[in-house]
Amino acid sequence: MPLPAIVSADLRLNEPRYASLPNIMKAKKKPLKETTAADYGVDVSPRLEVVSVREPQGRQAGIKLGSVNELVDQLKEAGVI
């Protein structure tokens, strides 16, 4: 679908519909037609390229501060406030 698009869903979206036994038996006898994406004119070639993968850096140990004033000073040094 062309973008921008709006998609809505109903509350009953995830409620399963249970098939009855006679319908299951009928479904076993029906032929199964297999199609590919190319039959529908869809291009499924990959469009993304992985440039690099690396593990994130480990977390550094924190420090304990004795008062709120020390915390404010540390935040000012870090350029947060």
d(CA 24, CA 21): 5
The pTM of the full predicted model, rounded to 2 decimals, is 0.32
- Whether the per-residue pLDDT at 12 is higher than 90: the answer is no
**Can you tell me the mean pLDDT for 4-30?**
89
Q: Is 60 exposed, middle or buried (0-12, 13-18, 19+ CB in 10 A)?
A: exposed
- Least confident span in 7-11, 27-31, 37-41, 66-70: 7-11
* Domain residue ranges of the chain, discontinuous segments joined by +: 21-78
